[in-house]
């Protein structure tokens, strides 16, 4: 008889598990293994380096290194006897390597990195190999770049090889300086004047011992293929092409020690082909023709140089890019003159500031502040300002000129009035008639030094500087009621309220943000209206009608007027009825190549493009022509709004919003090719402003870089960096 089965309920147990990792346990295990090795506990193999014994554990070595894993997996004598002998390695390196295997910790320095790298390669410690390469890559400099480049080539380290090659390209000019220093110590100094001028560093910098050590980083140790690759690259960074010629001659001179004359002449011919003759000056070409003996032995090369010399004025092809001037965003502050290379996103400080003339006149624990800057035809003018000690302040009327081509400062005729925190604008009637107009600012009637913060008042005068005559004159504003009223209202405002110096400074900077110059016209933004005044040397005339901003737009500043914008206008003509129909127009950026052009006139840039066609039996003609329009910017920095303003048409065009809000006083607008640059961006990081860039092609903003906020150490107010654009050939 079958008994009935009674189901039994079994409570299911939980299948959930937790995977736990105890970090301290892992580190304690490493410490224990390290202790076992040092105390020779449980060891089963011994490594010998130059007679020094290192007890180890096979399992640890095999787990860390494929080299040891292969050794102990086979029936080799090292595996049977438990003894491993390592050659061509120091005991110090072996100890550091074993410490790394047991603890994953190691100290890498410039002195030991090559030894550690070679040992890591031998024992196939890939992680340590990568760390060594990364360390070397981060520490490439002029003193070791060639040595590291050759090392990377020897070991096939592609990434390190590319990195050092790029470093040599970018710093080739400085590498030549180093080589000149080396030759001045190891051999005779350069005897010819042209080569002697190339060196920008004192030849006494290096001792004989340092020269011998640094010789290994001279470019003359490069092999021919690598050297040729450098010379033919467009990225080779030299200020003048004569540096390339110098490097060729020094490289050949070094190679001549181990080559016969025929081979040296062949090297000269091969390398000379990489010299870009069109980048050399007339003086430099004549120097090469007169002094290069090997050139006279090669008639073909000689004729090539003679042809370049004969065609010197017209030949502009194949010029090395680094020898051409390029645009820099320049920042002038109290004690520094900084340059920002947009293409490399890099700041440099290569220009002397303050100039030597000013340093010799004052002791420079003092502060030079309140000056204005203006650029005219790629030349910088620094005008006026004040020199402050702890208890006195002296206003200045000095004028300094900086030539970026010659990289030198000079003094010009002084202003008629001493003033600070004033505003300057560039005006011109033609290419030969350029003026710098100075208005606003703080001034004082007394000649002696003033106690800080006392007796300053708003300037009521406007003066202008004629660049071609180096002469200052005062502008007659009495006949212009609008401009006179504008200046008097500013003067009255400061007189009534008796502002302190800090408030007066802020007021002057605020006013300077409302004035721009475009050709011979002055634009002033006042009460939401843009007033226009025409300037000549005898008078300032009002230019009507003025432009009123929309009522919903407020808090704006009139940003810097820029060069012209090209308008491409498409027009259709009906040739039978003589009817005319404007289809549409579009804009493209271009540099202003016609300084004499009136700011409000339209001028033809090129011959119109004409297309004739038939449309349903009607003969029609389409003409595309180009005209230039003046362009300036209207900026609301605190809201991040930017408008393009076309004064010839009284037309506003809004650009996309900026990424950041901008400081009202620190905002400058520049135009570099197709980019619009705005400074003074306020980010999350205290003590820094940011620079934004607008790309017209993508219609997008991006943050380019940041720069520190300058603070007046005496008055404790923010000081405004002056931003402007210069074309310079600096390496």
- Residue-level pLDDT at 211: 46
Stretch 177-191: mean pLDDT, rounded? 57
* Cross-strand partners of 247: none
Stretch 567-594: mean pLDDT, rounded? 50
Confidence of residue 715 (pLDDT cuts 50, 70, 90): low
Per residue in 29-38, pLDDT tens?
767 777 877 7
- Helix or strand (DSSP H, E) at 170: helix 158-170
- Residue-level pLDDT at 497: 54
Query: CA dihedral in degrees (252, 255, 258, 264; nearest 10)?
Result: -30
Residue reference for tokens 């110059």: 517
d(CA 316, CA 599): 31
- Residue-level pLDDT at 192: 46
Per residue in 263-314, pLDDT tens?
888 988 899 989 988 888 888 888 888 888 888 888 888 888 888 887 755 5
- Residue-level pLDDT at 548: 81
383 Cβ neighbours under 8 A, 6+ residues apart? 371, 372, 373, 374, 398, 399, 400, 415, 422, 424, 436, 438, 465
pLDDT at 262 over 80: yes
- Residue-level pLDDT at 332: 87
Contact between 259 and 267 (Cβ < 8 Å): yes
493 Cβ neighbours under 8 A, 6+ residues apart? 458, 507
CA distances from 35 to 24, 43, 100, 107, 501 (A): 16, 11, 13, 19, 70
Residue reference for tokens 């030759």: 183
Residue reference for tokens 């005897």: 191
Per residue in 452-505, pLDDT tens?
445 677 888 889 999 999 999 998 887 777 777 777 777 666 665 566 777 777
pLDDT at 193 over 50: no
pLDDT at 587 over 50: no
- Residue-level pLDDT at 604: 35
d(CA 523, CA 560): 10
The fraction of the chain above a pLDDT of 90, given in percent, is 17
Nearest-CA neighbor of 629 among 567, 586, 674, 561? 567
Per residue in 56-100, pLDDT tens?
988 889 988 989 988 888 878 877 788 899 988 999 999 999 989
Contact between 724 and 680 (Cβ < 8 Å): no
Q: Which of 20-24, 211-215, 638-642 has the lowest mean pLDDT?
A: 211-215
Cis, bond preceding 545 (omega within 30 deg of 0) = yes
pLDDT at 415 over 90: yes
Within the chain, how many helices (H) and strands (E) appear?
21, 37
CA distances from 332 to 244, 337, 414, 422 (A): 32, 5, 20, 16
Question: SS3 for 279?
Answer: helix
Stretch 326-354: mean pLDDT, rounded? 82
Q: Which of 64-73, 107-116, 618-627 has the lowest mean pLDDT?
A: 618-627
pLDDT at 129 over 60: yes
Confidence of residue 613 (pLDDT cuts 50, 70, 90): low
- Residue-level pLDDT at 625: 55
Complete domains list, the chain, with CATH: 23-139 (3.30.710.10), 148-323 (1.25.40.420), 359-548 (no CATH), 563-628 (no CATH)
CA distances from 373 to 384, 442, 725 (A): 9, 16, 11
């Amino acid at each position: 008889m079958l008994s009935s089965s009674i189901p039994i309920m079994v409570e299911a147990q939980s299948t959930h598990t937790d995977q736990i990792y105890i970090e301290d346990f892992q580190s304690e295990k490493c410490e224990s293994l390290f202790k076992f090795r040092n105390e020779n506990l449980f060891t089963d193999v011994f490594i010998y380096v130059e007679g020094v014994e290192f007890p180890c554990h096979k399992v640890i070595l095999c787990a860390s290194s494929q080299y040891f894993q292969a050794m102990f997996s086979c029936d080799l004598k090292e595996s049977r006897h438990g003894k491993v002998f390592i050659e061509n390695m120091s005991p110090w390196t072996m100890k550091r390597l074993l410490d790394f295997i047991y603890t994953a910790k190691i100290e890498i320095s410039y002195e030991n990195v090559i030894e550690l790298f070679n040992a890591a390669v031998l024992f196939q410690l890939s992680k340590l190999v990568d760390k060594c390469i990364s360390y070397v890559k981060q520490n490439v400099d002029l003193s070791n770049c060639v040595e590291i480049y050759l090392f990377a080539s020897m070991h096939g380290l592609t990434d390190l090889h590319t990195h050092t090659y790029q470093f040599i390209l970018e710093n080739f000019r400085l590498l030549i300086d180093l080589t000149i220093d080396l030759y001045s110590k190891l051999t005779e100094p350069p005897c010819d004047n042209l080569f002697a001028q190339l060196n920008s560093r004192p030849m006494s910098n290096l001792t004989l011992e340092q020269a011998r050590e640094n010789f290994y980083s001279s470019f003359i140790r490069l092999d021919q293929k690598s050297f040729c690759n450098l010379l033919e690259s467009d990225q080779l960074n030299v200020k003048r092409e004569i540096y390339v010629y110098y490097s060729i001659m020094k490289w050949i001179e070094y190679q001549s020690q181990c080559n016969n004359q025929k081979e040296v002449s062949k090297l000269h011919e091969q390398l000379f082909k990489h010299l870009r003759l069109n980048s050399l000056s007339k003086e430099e070409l004549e120097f090469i023709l007169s002094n290069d003996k090997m050139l006279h032995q090669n008639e073909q090369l000689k004729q090539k140089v003679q042809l370049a010399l004969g065609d010197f004025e017209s030949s502009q092809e194949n010029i090395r890019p680094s020898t051409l001037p390029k645009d820099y965003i320049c920042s002038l502050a109290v004690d520094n003159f900084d340059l920002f290379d947009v293409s490399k996103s890099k700041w440099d400080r290569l220009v002397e500031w303050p100039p030597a003339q000013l340093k010799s006149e004052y002791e420079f624990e003092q502060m030079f502040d309140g000056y204005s800057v203006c650029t005219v035809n790629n030349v910088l003018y620094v005008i006026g300002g004040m020199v402050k000690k702890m208890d006195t302040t002296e206003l200045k009327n000095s004028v300094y000129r900086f030539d970026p081509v010659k990289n030198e400062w000079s003094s010009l005729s002084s202003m008629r009035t001493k003033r600070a925190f004033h505003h300057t604008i560039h005006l011109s009637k033609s290419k030969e008639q350029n003026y710098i107009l100075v208005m606003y600012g703080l001034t004082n009637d007394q000649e002696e030094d003033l106690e800080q913060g006392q007796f300053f008042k708003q300037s009521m005068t406007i003066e202008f500087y004629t660049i071609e005559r180096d002469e200052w004159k005062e502008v007659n504003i009495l006949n212009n009621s609008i401009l006179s009223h504008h200046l008097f209202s500013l003067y009255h405002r400061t007189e009534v309220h008796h502002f302190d110096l800090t408030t007066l400074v802020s007021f002057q900077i605020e006013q300077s943000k409302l004035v721009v110059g475009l050709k011979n016209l002055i634009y002033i933004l006042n009460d939401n209206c843009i007033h226009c005044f025409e300037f000549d040397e005898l008078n300032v005339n009002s230019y009507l009608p003025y432009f009123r901003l929309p009522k919903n737009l407020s808090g704006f500043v009139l940003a810097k007027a820029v060069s012209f914008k090209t308008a491409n206008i498409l027009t259709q003509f009906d040739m039978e009825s003589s009817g005319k129909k404007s289809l549409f127009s579009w804009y493209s950026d271009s540099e202003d190549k016609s300084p004499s052009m009136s700011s409000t006139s339209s001028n033809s840039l090129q011959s119109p493009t004409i297309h004739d066609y038939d449309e349903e039996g009607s003969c029609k003609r389409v003409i595309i022509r180009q005209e230039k329009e003046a362009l300036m910017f209207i900026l609301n920095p605190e809201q991040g709004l930017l408008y393009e303003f076309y004064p010839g048409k009284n037309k506003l065009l809004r650009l996309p919003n900026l990424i950041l809000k901008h400081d009202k006083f620190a905002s400058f607008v520049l135009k570099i090719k197709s980019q619009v640059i705005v400074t003074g961006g306020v980010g999350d990081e205290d003590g820094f402003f940011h620079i934004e860039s607008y790309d017209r092609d993508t219609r997008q903003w991006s943050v380019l870089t940041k720069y520190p906020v300058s603070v007046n150490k005496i008055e404790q107010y923010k000081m405004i960096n002056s931003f402007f654009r210069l074309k310079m050939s600096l390496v």
